């Protein structure tokens, strides 16, 4: 519980500082609103148990997380922080679950390594950043860890198989095809580890009981929507293994790049952790840690359709191994190069930040890069001071060094959340809120056409579905466009745009009267 509270202190602040991100957050929020809008307690209507996108059936994903988001916004208001609140709370449960998982694996210093693994996972930038977003992936990691933790715990307490089953239900209500991969990983490692781990039949009965709600929903979904219900298993699921869906290419290079970019400062510990797990391959802990890493990689890397957040599934297994590499650094002070590199990285970050900040203050002709200065100063200070302390001869000093590094990194995350940089993808597009505010002033039946790429967040902020650019334009209508339209008059202020756009290419709402 204490670990979870610390996680919330780091992850929750600043949830509403930036608008929703497209496509993912805007689409999830729109589906959540449309789905929960069908909930009417005065009538025996079960439509809200199915996913809806505006007035059409939404077949891409089940409405598991959308129910929570829709309930949150109905209760707390349609604000960005209310959209992100429950996804963040659910994703943050991955931290105590990883602690419980590592404890179940046992081995030398299991309690200490469980704590280290949880702290590493809590302070990983990709884990924290995506966990704060209204996306399915943070909740998917939590469900995955609940499945594995409950299954391991059911060796001694069969009824804990219910937790594993609830993890299966969670996956089924988020990204159903992923459950096949998670079950295959679990079965393969359990078979390899069968001589040291024993499960009773009653544990499997509890697993089935826990997974029953998810299975029942999918059977009911098929009965309601027929063959269309299989789209989330095929066209939006298993087909991503063999085909490229949309423009989401990158193959195995993208998740590896995400790991190399987002795993700092802990990624230095991974090689030592892998070596340790290999030496422990004849024991349960080594088999599970190596098996989870290889299984997660086999689940993510072969996908032909790749998005940056698919690498989210790799972090728990990577974190377990990083904790194995961190433990000897703290207890024995080896390898010493870890502390040296941490302190060197910290010095470089501080130096680079000061140089850029100085250039901004002096207003040099060359335009410097915009950076989250305070966040970088905190991160650099933590790395420098923590790395130097990790090199000290006593165990107490080295542990103090880890606390210093964690404090600096945690403060850096908090500073990042309160800057405009934690959702850096927003810099590549325009803020939809000013245009959406103008659309909200229009009559409910007024046709509004978006002349450009689909922006789910614009529809969510505007409170209505926008017509595509090829929609027929008959009679009075309104158009969202970045360029002036002949015979139309601008009715909204120009929306902030990315720096590369010219002053004459602002996104605005245009009123087009009847020809």
Per-residue model confidence as pLDDT tens for the chain (515 residues): 889 999 999 999 999 999 999 888 999 999 999 999 998 877 778 889 999 999 899 999 999 999 999 999 999 999 999 999 999 999 999 999 999 999 999 888 999 999 999 999 999 999 999 999 999 999 999 999 999 999 999 999 999 999 999 999 999 999 999 999 999 999 999 999 887 778 888 999 999 999 999 999 999 999 999 999 998 888 666 666 666 665 556 577 888 989 999 999 999 999 999 999 999 999 999 999 999 999 999 999 888 777 787 889 999 999 999 999 999 999 988 899 999 999 999 999 999 998 887 777 776 655 556 788 899 999 999 999 999 999 999 999 999 999 999 999 999 999 999 999 999 888 778 899 999 999 999 998 899 999 988 899 999 999 999 999 888 888 899 999 988 888 899 987 765 544 444 444 688 999 998 76
Q: Do residue 304 and residue 231 come from a single domain? A: yes
Whole-prediction pTM value?
0.93
Q: Do residue 422 and residue 434 come from a single domain? A: no
Q: Do residue 317 and residue 352 come from a single domain? A: no
Q: Do residue 77 and residue 195 come from a single domain? A: yes
Task: Specify the 3-state DSSP secondary structure of 167.
Answer: helix
Domain span including residue 394: 336-426
Domain final position from 302, 328, 354: 328
Question: ∠ CA(246), CA(219), CA(173), 5° rounding?
Answer: 55
Q: How many helices (H) and strands (E) does the chain have?
A: 21, 6
Q: Do residue 118 and residue 138 come from a single domain? A: yes
Q: Do residue 194 and residue 259 come from a single domain? A: yes
Q: Do residue 89 and residue 159 come from a single domain? A: yes
* Number of domains the chain contains: 3
Q: Do residue 231 and residue 344 come from a single domain? A: no
Domain final position from 404, 426, 448: 426
- Across the strands, what pairs with 57? 52
Nearest partner of 128 among 137, 431, 22, 66, judged by Cα? 137
Domain final position from 328, 354, 386: 328
Q: Do residue 178 and residue 303 come from a single domain? A: yes
Q: Do residue 83 and residue 220 come from a single domain? A: yes
Helices (H), 269-425: 270-279, 284-300, 315-331, 337-362, 373-390, 395-417
Q: How many CA atoms lie within 13 A of 272 on its CB side?
A: 17
- b/e 333-359 (16+ beta carbons within 10 angstroms → b): bebeebbeebbebbeebbeebeebeee
């Amino acid at each position: 519980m204490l670990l979870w509270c610390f996680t919330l202190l780091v992850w929750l602040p600043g949830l509403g500082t930036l608008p929703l991100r497209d496509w993912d957050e805007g689409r999830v929020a729109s589906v959540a609103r449309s789905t929960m809008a069908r909930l009417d307690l005065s009538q025996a209507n079960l439509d809200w148990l199915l996913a809806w996108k505006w007035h059409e059936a939404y077949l891409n994903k089940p409405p598991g997380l959308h129910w929570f988001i829709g309930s949150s916004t109905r209760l707390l208001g349609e604000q960005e922080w209310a959209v992100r609140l429950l996804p963040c709370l659910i994703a943050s449960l991955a931290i105590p679950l990883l602690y419980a998982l590592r404890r179940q694996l046992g081995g030398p210093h299991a309690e200490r390594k469980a704590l280290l693994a949880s702290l590493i996972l809590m302070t990983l930038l990709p884990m924290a950043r995506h966990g704060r977003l209204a996306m399915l992936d943070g909740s998917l990691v939590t469900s995955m860890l609940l499945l594995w933790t409950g299954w391991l715990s059911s060796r001694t307490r069969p009824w804990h198989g219910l937790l594993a089953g609830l993890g299966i239900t969670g996956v089924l209500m988020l990204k159903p095809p992923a459950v096949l991969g998670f079950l295959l990983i679990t079965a393969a490692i359990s078979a390899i580890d069968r001589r040291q781990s024993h499960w009773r039949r009653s544990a499997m009965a509890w697993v089935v009981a826990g997974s029953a709600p998810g299975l029942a929903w999918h059977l009911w979904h098929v009965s309601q929507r027929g063959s269309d219900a299989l789209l989330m298993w095929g066209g939006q699921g298993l087909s991503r293994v063999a085909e490229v869906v949309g423009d989401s290419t990158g193959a195995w290079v993208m998740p590896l790049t995400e790991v190399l970019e987002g795993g700092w400062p802990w990624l230095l510990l991974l090689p030592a952790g892998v070596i340790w797990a290999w030496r422990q391959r004849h024991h349960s802990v080594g088999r599970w840690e190596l098996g989870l890493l290889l299984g997660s990689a086999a689940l993510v890397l072969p996908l032909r359709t790749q998005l940056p957040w698919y690498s989210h599934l790799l972090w728990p297994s990577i974190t377990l191994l990083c904790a194995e590499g961190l433990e000897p650094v703290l207890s024995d002070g080896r390898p010493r190069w870890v502390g040296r590199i941490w302190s060197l990285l910290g010095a470089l970050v501080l130096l680079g930040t000061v140089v850029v900040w100085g250039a901004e203050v002096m207003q040099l002709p060359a335009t410097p890069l915009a950076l989250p200065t305070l966040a970088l100063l905190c991160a650099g200070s933590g790395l420098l001071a923590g790395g130097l302390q990790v090199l000290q001869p006593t165990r107490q000093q080295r542990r103090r060094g880890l606390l210093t590094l964690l404090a600096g990194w945690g403060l850096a995350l908090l500073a990042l959340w309160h800057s405009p940089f934690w959702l850096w993808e927003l810099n590549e597009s325009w803020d939809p809120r000013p245009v959406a505010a103008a659309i909200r002033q229009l009559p409910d039946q007024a046709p509004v056409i978006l002349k450009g790429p689909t922006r789910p967040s614009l529809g969510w902020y505007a409170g209505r579905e926008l017509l595509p650019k090829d929609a027929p334009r008959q009679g009075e209508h309104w158009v969202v466009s970045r360029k002036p339209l002949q015979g139309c008059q601008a009715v909204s202020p120009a929306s902030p745009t990315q720096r590369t756009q010219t002053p004459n290419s602002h996104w605005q709402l245009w009123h087009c009267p009847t020809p």
